[in-house]
């Protein structure tokens, strides 16, 4: 168990709070098919999941001129606003437990406002986060660490006292570079890469995770428990 006590929890959205891997993959693969190619699993991991759309377009779709990006963004907006979102198992419950315990929590996502609004409304989390950082709040997306440093600053918590939940390679890099302790969320096939990048541990979802309010302990699974302190927690 880590010796230091944590004070806040920061959550990425796609792949951490809501399960969007299949729908994100489908959108970009459909666009790729229209341009005569298929995106590899490696490119999905490196250049799609956890990345701003402008990065994906620049790296994987260099044939689309910058003037054509507006059309893609509009298709993406319509797609994101019309999807039905489901939670990563256990995420909504755990966020509720942290909130009830008075632990400051933030959502830190590279998604645009329209997607964040749709996800949070559908999952009943609209008012669950003390701070929300979205795409328009930061000039550079993940793996740049600015988004997590901004979230910690707005919570009034030292980034080194933050537990950060991330699923994407770029997101884990962002979290670790910022100075936070990162917990990876993902399947076993990504575990070695996520830990190599710097994740403390990797769990498939939050079904085994719980916040023990009596002793201020965050149980990630049967083997990993993180101590918390409510010193400096926000008043609800």
Q: pLDDT digit string (tens) for 156-181?
A: 999 999 999 999 999 999 999 999 99
Concatenating the DSSP letter of every residue in 65-101 gives: -GGGHHHHHHHHHHHHHHPPP-BPTTHHHHHHHHHHT
Residue-level pLDDT at 184:
98
Residue-level pLDDT at 128:
98
Tens digits of per-residue pLDDT, 78-104?
Answer: 988 889 999 999 999 999 999 999 999
Distances (CA, A) of 129 to 5, 84, 119, 188, 236: 21, 21, 13, 29, 11
Q: Which two tokens stand for residue 146?
A: 């600015």
Residue-level pLDDT at 231:
65
Residue-level pLDDT at 3:
62
CATH topology for 8-19+86-227?
Rossmann fold (3.40.50)
Compute and round to an integer the Cα radius of gyration of the chain: 17
Residue 36 backbone class (left: φ over 0; alpha: ψ -120 to 50; beta: rest): left
Share of the chain above pLDDT 70, in %: 96
Q: What whole-number distance in Å separates Cα of residue 57 and Cα of residue 28?
A: 10
Contact 123, 51 (CB under 8 A): no
40-64 burial string, b = 16+ CB within 10 Å, else e?
A: eeeebbbbbbbbbbebbbeebbeee
Distances (CA, A) of 204 to 145, 184, 191: 24, 8, 9
pTM score above 0.85: yes
Q: What whole-number distance in Å separates Cα of residue 188 and Cα of residue 202?
A: 8
Share of the chain above pLDDT 90, in %: 82
Helices (H), the chain: 21-34, 41-47, 53-60, 69-82, 91-100, 113-123, 146-155, 169-178, 188-197
Each residue's pLDDT expressed in tens, for the chain with a length of 236 residues? 456 799 999 999 999 999 988 888 899 999 999 999 999 999 998 898 888 888 899 999 999 999 999 999 999 889 888 899 999 999 999 999 999 999 999 999 999 999 999 999 999 999 999 999 999 999 889 999 999 999 999 999 999 999 999 999 999 999 999 999 999 999 998 999 999 999 999 999 999 999 999 999 999 998 999 999 986 544 33
Rounded to the nearest angstrom, the gap between the alpha carbon of residue 178 and the centroid of all alpha carbons in its chain is 14
Q: What whole-number distance in Å separates Cα of residue 219 and Cα of residue 226?
A: 6
* Segments making up each domain of the chain, as ranges: 8-19+86-227, 21-82
The CATH number corresponding to 21-82 among 1.10.3470, 1.10.150, 1.10.275, 1.10.10 equals: 1.10.150
């Amino acid at each position: 168990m880590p010796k230091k006590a944590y004070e806040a929890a920061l959550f990425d959205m796609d792949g951490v709070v809501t399960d969007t891997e299949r729908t994100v993959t489908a959108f970009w693969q459909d666009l790729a098919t229209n341009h005569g190619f298929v995106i590899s699993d490696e490119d999905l991991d490196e250049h799609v999941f956890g990345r701003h759309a402008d990065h994906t377009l620049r790296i994987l779709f260099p044939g689309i001129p910058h003037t054509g990006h507006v059309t893609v963004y509009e298709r993406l907006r319509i797609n994101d606003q019309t999807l039905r979102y489901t939670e990563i198992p256990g995420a909504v419950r755990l966020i509720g437990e942290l909130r009830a315990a008075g632990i400051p929590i933030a959502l830190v996502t590279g998604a645009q406002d329209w997607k964040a609004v749709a996800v949070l409304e559908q999952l009943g989390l609209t008012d669950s986060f003390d701070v929300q950082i979205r795409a328009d709040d930061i000039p550079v997306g993940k793996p740049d660490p600015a988004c997590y440093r901004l979230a910690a600053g707005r919570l009034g918590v030292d980034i080194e006292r933050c537990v950060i939940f991330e699923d994407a390679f770029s997101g884990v890099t962002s979290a670790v570079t910022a100075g936070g302790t990162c917990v990876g969320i993902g399947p076993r096939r990504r575990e070695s890469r996520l830990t190599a990048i710097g994740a403390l541990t990797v769990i498939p979802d939050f079904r085994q995770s719980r916040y023990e309010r009596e002793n201020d302990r965050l149980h990630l699974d049967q083997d990993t428990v993180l101590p918390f302190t409510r010193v400096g927690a926000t008043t609800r």
